Structure 1
Amino acid sequence: MSLATNKIVCITGSSRGIGRACAIQFAKQGATGLILHYYGDTETEAEIRSLQSQLENDTVKVVTVPGDIGDPATSAKIVEAGVAVFGRIDVLVSNAGICPFAEFLTMPHAVWEHTRQVNLDGSFYVVQAVANQMKDQVPQGGSIIGISSISALVGGELQCHYTPTKAGILSLMQSCAVALGKWGIRANAILPGTIETDINKEDLSDSTKREYMINRTAMKRLGTPDDIAGPVVFLASDLACYVTGASLLVDGGLFVNLQ
């Protein structure tokens, strides 16, 4: 059984990393429509064109929407573009995020502002916009998955601006589960551990740091975007129809390993 058969799925930050892996997995699992948001610079435009070509060859119709997710107008455009083509949105994966590592005491306030705007404000805007569409469509309902982080639960020396945003996404999903359940809308959070993406590429280039993070996991390897895509598709699927307000830690056993 395909887990996403006939579903219309919206993914923010879809040009690479976890977002891209989710798009590919949803296509493999039978989604018929994908609304792919990306930040519109030249490099990501090339990435999204490549992804679009790959998925459309697999008979999935794809709509792409560029824009700064920290601007509420972008979320309105995402919903408008998706509904114009597909008529509805069944799943939202709020994934777009940044993590510019920085020392707390010398961090420019602009770094804090930008990180919060993209990670937390952007999540709020797109969740609100898509939830309104899910409430009004017939039949009502849908699944919203917020990509939080293990950083919602623990601290990081160079992440004093990042961890609060991920904790905020976790809390947002919990409250949205309560606020939106009456319309058949489920809201859940995925908390990835150390996943190799562009966000931490520079940080993990330090071989000592990389080896330390590998050894911290119970499974003795770092995660890949594909490791996150599977759990995301599950939470979006009808197999998880009674799961809402939940948080799923996907970290290879990093959090539980105290030794």
Structure 2
Amino acid sequence: MHGSMTANNGDGFDQVARDAVYRAMFTRRDVRSHFLPDPLDDDVLARLLLAAHHAPSVGFMQPWNFIVIRDAERRRHVRDLFLAAREQELPAMEADRQALYRKLKLEGICESALNICITCDRQRSHNSPLGRWHNPEMDLYSTVCAVQNFWLAARAEGVGVGWVSIIEAQALKSLLSIPEHVTPIAYLCVGRVSEFAARPDLETHGWGQRLPLPELIMSETFSGQGEALLKTSVSRLNAASVGLAPKP
């Protein structure tokens, strides 16, 4: 790790560091293709896990664990779970989307260098209700913050990450010997890639488009109109126009 990690004042980052943070956010991709067969260096993986471990957590509970999965046979079993879950999910799709759904590449379980399952221990710090008395699911949300930290750090390192959500949780718990009180949150495919796509795969394939941000900003209440100046500022921005990501 380069430089000091001590937060000693209230200043923001310099322009180069600030742009790097935003670039990681704007160019992060859910990688399913383009994985290379190259192994992932343990020093790099250690930095990604350290970044994940420094995610915010309500009540400083740090409910996460990280299961590193390298074994090829175990990963094949996980992929079998994915294939079964995909067939179960297919009938829920509208008829005109089922054909596209079948064509989509939705995982890189066996192609990536390794897999990581990030879990949430629902009993960790269970004696302390700080931040969870009225919302007991804050441990789950905290774990998702660790996923995001891992993902952004991976992008900065040139490492691809793909989140495989089409897996039945109980079957995955059985395969990975996850205790009953622990919830699997994210199953990630991790490895070096040949490229990061200019746009999200699902956008490229016509599954959906990014929603206009001004339409998602409310004022004071959920139905509140206003913030016209803010919305105008937002409308002027995009990743390319502010130099935070290369233009496609």
- What's the TM-score once normalised by structure 2's chain length? 0.25
Question: Larger helix proportion, structure 1 or 2?
Answer: 1
- What's the TM-score once normalised by structure 1's chain length? 0.24
Instruction: Pick 1 or 2: higher relative contact order, CA cutoff 8 A, min separation 6.
Output: 2
